[in-house]
Amino acid sequence: MTDKIRVATASLCGCFGCHMSLLDIDERIIDLVQLVEFDRSPINDIKKVGDCDIGIIEGGVANAENVEVLLEFRKHCKVLVALGACAINGGIPAMRNSFELRECLEEAYIDGIGVANPQIPNDVEIPLLLNKVHPIHEVVKVDHFLPGCPPSGDTIWTFLTELIEGKPISFPYEQIHYD
Amino acid sequence: MNEVKTFRLDGVDIEFSEGDTIMDAALRAGAYIPHLCHNPEFTPHGSCRVCIVEVNGGQVSACTQPAAAGLEVDNASDAIVEERRNLLQMLFVEGNHMCPGCEKSGACQLQAVAYYTGMLSPHYTHFFPQRSVDASHPDTAIDFNRCILCELCVRASRDVDHKNVFSLRGRGIDTQLTINSPSGKLGDSTFAATDKAAHVCPVGAILPKHRGYEQPIGNRLYDRQPISVVGDVAAYEPGNKGDGHD
């Protein structure tokens, strides 16, 4: 068991679509678990990342907790992978970068349609938002990028099998899209 | 006797006529040199630099460099492809190119050329500039977030439509597309959806209204085949050679 490749995954400021796409490898996941063991991941609900061979990050960096998780992943993972549009360029959440953070909060919690008891949430349990949403390569060194919104199950499968087998990473044309 | 003149592009002989640029001759021969600001219907511009090739040891833009007999043109060396990828990465981070939220995605030439050069990440730090959207015109919307300053709309409006609706203002990194109307809004200009300028944008900056996401994912222009096979998106606009694709 111990010689299995350890893989951790996390969703930062994403929609979990990339994780859904990982599950879209369907029955190939049975082949995958012969080769890998999952460390921290939403799939198994382990909360803390240990030393891993591969760390896969979905989502961009939008709040203080995202920064913390990302730094932990970089510290513990030999190879760090940016999975999907948000991790690579901020994606849809980064469209808030066209506005001031205050404007976004006011639109959602003060001026929004149907808002009752308008107030900007300010609980210590809620991670503080960053002024802008950032791609993860602006915070840590990233070893591989898998574009797509989300990358397809086939793209993820191609990547993981090539990486695990130590082959050069390359994709068929249809497997790389930015959307 | 009229001797056929040729130059060599990646080791293949390409015929050319007097007055051809390297790009003209390559396009005619069906050899693909990546490009964004070039459209064979308009005077070459040489500004996006994506068509850089190495000629006899120096770098030139293929769309402006006159073809000459015996030239050795390198269009596919690792160094040239790397440089093109860097140029594309800079174009991506300078604007706000959120492909998942763009109607042009899948039929966008910036995207297609980036796929062709194997760009997997933007590499650089994003500028996230503050730019606006102009939806004032009834038939056409302009999203300045996606403009790459290729000036094809400027050239089309000036040279074909004779309206001068578009121009660039500012210098260097502050250069922006601007609209010639009293309010600066497209709706107040003489622009019409039937203008040539409405059908030349290689990205999702100038978009027709009322027909977003007509093509399902998987069926779009660059979904299955690379731009080197499919060609420029402008060629598929109404009235052009590829009109009627599915």
- The interface predicted TM-score of the complex, written ipTM, equals 0.94
pLDDT at A152: 97
- The helix or strand, by DSSP H or E, that contains position B54, with its residue range, turns out to be strand B52-55
Say if the Cβ atoms of B102 and A88 lie within 8 Å.
no
pLDDT at B245: 40
Distance CA B44, CA B37 (A): 8
B226 reaches A (C-beta below 8 A): yes
Q: Give a yes or no: residue A163 inside a domain.
A: yes
In chain B, residues with a C-beta closer than 8 Å to the C-beta of A94 are 96, 98, 126, 128
Say if the Cβ atoms of A145 and B121 lie within 8 Å.
yes
Say if the Cβ atoms of A89 and B98 lie within 8 Å.
yes
**Chain A residues 57-76 with a CB less than 8 Å from chain B:** none
A97 reaches B (C-beta below 8 A): yes
What pTM value is reported for the model? 0.95
Say if the Cβ atoms of A89 and B217 lie within 8 Å.
no
For B69-212, strand residue ranges (E) read: 72-74, 133-134, 140-143, 166-169, 176-179, 206-208
Q: How far away is chain A from the Cα of B38, in angstroms, using its nearest Cα?
A: 23
A156 reaches B (C-beta below 8 A): no
In chain A, residues with a C-beta closer than 8 Å to the C-beta of B130 are 98
Q: Give a yes or no: residue A122 inside a domain.
A: no
Q: How far away is chain B from the Cα of A90, in angstroms, using its nearest Cα?
A: 9
User: What does pLDDT average to over chain B?
Assistant: 94
Q: Give a yes or no: residue A64 inside a domain.
A: yes
Residue among B99, B116, B145 with most chain A CBs within 10 A, to mutate: B99
Which of B108, B91, B6, B7 lies closest to B49 in space, CA to CA?
Answer: B91
pLDDT over 60 at B216, yes or no = yes
Q: How far away is chain A from the Cα of B20, in angstroms, using its nearest Cα?
A: 32
In chain A, residues with a C-beta closer than 8 Å to the C-beta of B145 are 98
Per residue in A158-178, pLDDT (tens digit) is 999 999 999 999 999 999 999
A104 reaches B (C-beta below 8 A): no
Q: Give a yes or no: residue A106 inside a domain.
A: no
Q: How far away is chain A from the Cα of B143, in angstroms, using its nearest Cα?
A: 13
Q: Give a yes or no: residue A121 inside a domain.
A: no
Q: Give a yes or no: residue A77 inside a domain.
A: yes
B212 reaches A (C-beta below 8 A): no
pLDDT at B4: 86
pLDDT at A3: 84
Say if the Cβ atoms of B111 and A135 lie within 8 Å.
no
Which of B49, B61, B159, B146 lies closest to B104 in space, CA to CA?
Answer: B146
In chain A, residues with a C-beta closer than 8 Å to the C-beta of B92 are 89
Q: Give a yes or no: residue A42 inside a domain.
A: yes
- Where does residue A112 rank: exposed (0-12), middle (13-18), buried (19+ CB within 10 A)? exposed
B216 reaches A (C-beta below 8 A): no
Question: In a structure prediction context, what are the per-residue pLDDT tens digits for chain A, which is 179 residues long?
Answer: 468 999 999 999 999 999 999 999 999 999 999 999 999 999 999 999 999 999 999 999 999 999 999 999 999 999 999 999 999 999 999 999 999 999 999 999 999 999 999 999 999 999 999 999 999 999 999 999 999 999 999 999 999 999 999 999 999 999 999 99
- Which residue range forms the structural domain that includes residue A158? 5-92+132-168
pLDDT over 60 at B1, yes or no = no
Q: Give a yes or no: residue A116 inside a domain.
A: no
Say if the Cβ atoms of A98 and B120 lie within 8 Å.
no
**Chain B residues 105-134 with a CB less than 8 Å from chain A:** 105-106, 111, 114-115, 120-123, 125-126, 128, 130-131
Q: Which residue from A minimizes the CA distance to B133?
A: A98
Say if the Cβ atoms of A135 and B126 lie within 8 Å.
yes
> Which domains, and CATH codes, for chain B?
5-76 (3.10.20.740), 81-210 (3.30.70.20)
pLDDT confidence band for B246 (50 / 70 / 90): very low
pLDDT at B244: 40
Q: How far is CA B175 from CA B94, B110, B170, in A?
A: 11, 19, 4
Percent of chain A with pLDDT over 90: 97
In chain B, residues with a C-beta closer than 8 Å to the C-beta of A134 are 126
CB–CB of A22/A49 below 8 Å? no
Domain count for chain A = 1
B28 reaches A (C-beta below 8 A): no
CATH number, domain containing residue A21: 3.40.50.700
Of B100, B115, B224, nearest to A91 by CB-CB distance is B100
